[in-house]
Amino acid sequence: MKDHRADESALPLIGIYEISKILGGTLDLEKALHEVLNVLSAYLNMRHGAVVLKDEAGTPSLAAVTGMSLQLARSGALKYPLAAAGKVIATGIPMVAPDIRDEPLLAEMMADGDALEDESISFLCVPVKTTDKPFGALSVERAWTGAARYVFEHDLRFLTMVATLIGQTVSLHQKVADDRDTLMTDAARLQKRMEDVRPALPVRGLEDVVGSSEAMARVFAHVQQAAPTKATILLRGESGTGKELVARAVHILSSRAQKPFVKVNCAALSESVLESELFGHDKGAFTGAVAERKGRFELAHGGTLFLDEIGEISAAFQAKLLRVLQEGEFERVGGSRTIKVDVRLVAATNRDLESAVADGSFRADLYYRLNVVPIVLPPLRERSGDIPLLAMYFLKQFNEENGRDLVFSRNALEALQRCYFPGNVRELENCVYRTATMTRGEVIDEMDLSCRNDTCLSSTLWHKRNPQSPPPPARPAAPIPVPAGPLAPPPNAAGAADATGASERDQLIQAMERCGWVQAKAARLLGLTPRQVGYALKKHNIELRQM
């Protein structure tokens, strides 16, 4: 035969289980509290439950009720004894009124008159708190009949446990809300800083070239100085540093701004196709040439021609290009008519042209013709202070393109600033767009970044390009103080000379020793993932030590 007493004794445990699931399953606090009161009513025969919480002014106010809407209850439809709840909150002592008729503080509840003739209504109220002073109260009513008084000890103990769960949940929600306000404030401040910095940059031509670092200030100065002239400009720098944007800025800031700006990627075309692309061809010059076609030099007449990846052209084509630059004239492929053009040339390369000239793969005379005004674009790792501005700029573009309103948290910007981005600005843009696409909330936090989800290829790319050297440490920007770069030595290192001379293996050992040979801690110190640290330990045959 089934033991009903056993079933009844299990009800409180089942109730606690259901309540914990409710409180941990939603971010809607009002809905969660309402469902908790419903559980109390369904499992424990408690009716007219209520949760009271202090508002911003410190006044007790209804936060959840059963039997009616919260709005209706707050309007006065529920005769709830806020004075009694306020006393429980102020003293932190539970209140038990076996019969509400005997308690003056509960007199207004008698007006409801929903008790039966032989039924008495009891009122139980316990404080809601965590480790601090109470900030709320949980109350229920319970009906009982008969001459014998009901024993409330078990109900009081159970309600205290429920109130503790509610207190922890309310505190967590408040902390989340406070953190979100802080993130939004920081994001707004950083966005304002970006807007304050941008007007200091040249208004015309360089709007899309973001940067406030000393290195970029030199670039802006060189562009403004050289753009109004007719001199050929050679843009130097690693891939992804923004050479095309600077070339366009040169054009816009020149007297040729109203004429065409034509660009060609020399590395993307074979020699024969590149010749036709730049010089054009006459009808019948080769199979498929069914009509006369103007080349990029003709299309850029009066304007600017941007030749990207100029270091990749063949030796044979270098001679043809040199003649155009010297004489300002050429013949189309398959043609005999000499065509004269007036073109301002801006070239770009990520190659070491001096070494190419030394080994004979690049003509010295062409090098001197191109290298009239060299402008070097710094890699992103040498201007890490610009990373927050660039990241917010790209995020603003993403928001405009996708109709979203995302912002970065301070932690996310600091984490980005610690990265060294082998792919430079292009890689940062890719990182921002990828992260923004996969972020579900309104704030991009540090844990949303690829480098915190072990899907970032920066470290892999760097080690493939520079297998014998660690990535250089990033220098933090003043407004956003961050730790030293990914593989920087500990602060108590012997000195800068020793740090820069240390091998990657030595720096890895230093980091492990400093962290007690705990890989996870060392990974955080180095700005890497635990998996990357584990790989590096294996790569350098470093045995783990037991501390």
Q: What pLDDT does 258 receive?
A: 92
CATH number of the domain residue 150 falls in: 3.30.450.40
**How are beta strands 60-65 and 293-294 bridged, if at all?**
unpaired
* Judgement on whether residues 426 and 297 belong to the same structural domain of the protein: no
Q: What pLDDT does 216 receive?
A: 86
To the nearest 5 percent, what fractions of the chain are helix, strand and coil? 50, 15, 35
* Judgement on whether residues 64 and 98 belong to the same structural domain of the protein: yes
Mean pLDDT on 386-415? 89
Residue 296 belongs to a domain: yes
Among 117-121, 229-233, 322-326, 365-369, the least confident range? 117-121
Report which of residues 477 and 34 the model is more confident about.
Answer: 34
Report which of residues 59 and 1 the model is more confident about.
Answer: 59
Mean pLDDT on 300-325? 89
Mean pLDDT on 443-450? 85
Mean pLDDT on 372-390? 89
Q: Which two tokens stand for residue 305?
A: 């021609």
Q: What pLDDT does 251 receive?
A: 93
Among 127, 151, 177, which residue terminates a domain?
177
Residue 191 belongs to a domain: no
* Judgement on whether residues 267 and 395 belong to the same structural domain of the protein: no
Express each pLDDT in 115-163 by its tens digit.
Answer: 556 677 888 899 998 877 899 999 888 877 665 456 678 888 888 888 9
Residue 453 belongs to a domain: yes
Neighbouring CB atoms inside 10 A of 217's CB total 14
Among 465, 483, 501, which residue terminates a domain?
483
Among 149-153, 236-240, 247-251, the least confident range? 149-153
Q: What pLDDT does 196 receive?
A: 54
Among 306, 297, 311, 309, which Cα is nearest to 367's? 311
Asked whether residue 200 carries a pLDDT value surpassing 50, the answer given is no
At 316, the pLDDT band (50, 70, 90 cuts) reads confident
CATH number of the domain residue 365 falls in: 3.40.50.300
Query: Which range in 203-212, 436-445, 515-524 is most confidently predicted, on average pLDDT?
Result: 436-445
Among 133-147, 222-236, 279-293, 478-492, the least confident range? 478-492
For the chain, what's the residue count? Answer: 547
Residue 195 belongs to a domain: no
Residue 186 belongs to a domain: no
Residues 408, 409, 415: CA angle, nearest 5 degrees: 90
Write the CA distances from 97 to 67, 84, 125, 149, integer angstroms: 21, 10, 9, 11
Mean pLDDT on 410-428? 86
Among 205-209, 242-246, 269-273, 293-297, the least confident range? 205-209
At 236, the pLDDT band (50, 70, 90 cuts) reads very high
Report which of residues 498 and 113 the model is more confident about.
Answer: 113
Q: What is the 3-state secondary structure (H, E, C) of 241-298?
A: CCHHHHHHHHHHCCCCCCCCEEEEEHHHCCHHHHHHHHHEECCCCCCCCCCCEECHHH
Residue 253 belongs to a domain: yes
Q: Which two tokens stand for residue 430?
A: 């890719």
C-alpha–C-alpha distance, residues 438 and 402, integer Å? 13
Q: What pLDDT does 481 receive?
A: 35
* Judgement on whether residues 165 and 267 belong to the same structural domain of the protein: no
Report which of residues 475 and 458 the model is more confident about.
Answer: 458
Among 2-6, 7-11, 133-137, 168-172, the least confident range? 2-6
Q: What pLDDT does 478 receive?
A: 38
* Judgement on whether residues 348 and 394 belong to the same structural domain of the protein: no
Mean pLDDT on 251-273? 88
**How are beta strands 280-281 and 329-331 bridged, if at all?**
unpaired
CATH number of the domain residue 528 falls in: 1.10.10.60
Report which of residues 428 and 27 the model is more confident about.
Answer: 428
Q: What pLDDT does 325 receive?
A: 86
* Judgement on whether residues 226 and 345 belong to the same structural domain of the protein: yes
Query: Which range in 208-222, 229-243, 264-278 is most confidently predicted, on average pLDDT?
Result: 229-243
Q: What pLDDT does 66 receive?
A: 84
Q: Which two tokens stand for residue 494?
A: 């012997």
C-alpha–C-alpha distance, residues 509 and 516, integer Å? 10
Residue 197 belongs to a domain: no
* Judgement on whether residues 541 and 468 belong to the same structural domain of the protein: no
Q: What pLDDT does 491 receive?
A: 33
Residue 173: domain span: 4-177
Mean pLDDT on 297-322? 89
* Judgement on whether residues 162 and 303 belong to the same structural domain of the protein: no
Q: Which two tokens stand for residue 26?
A: 């939603």
Q: What is the 3-state secondary structure (H, E, C) of 390-409?
A: HHHHHHHHHHHHHCCCCEEC
Residues above pLDDT 70, as percent of the chain: 79
* Judgement on whether residues 44 and 114 belong to the same structural domain of the protein: yes
Q: What pLDDT does 99 receive?
A: 82
Q: How many domains does the chain have?
A: 4
Asked whether residue 506 carries a pLDDT value surpassing 80, the answer given is no
Residue 474 belongs to a domain: yes
* Judgement on whether residues 137 and 223 belong to the same structural domain of the protein: no
* Judgement on whether residues 164 and 249 belong to the same structural domain of the protein: no
* Judgement on whether residues 87 and 148 belong to the same structural domain of the protein: yes
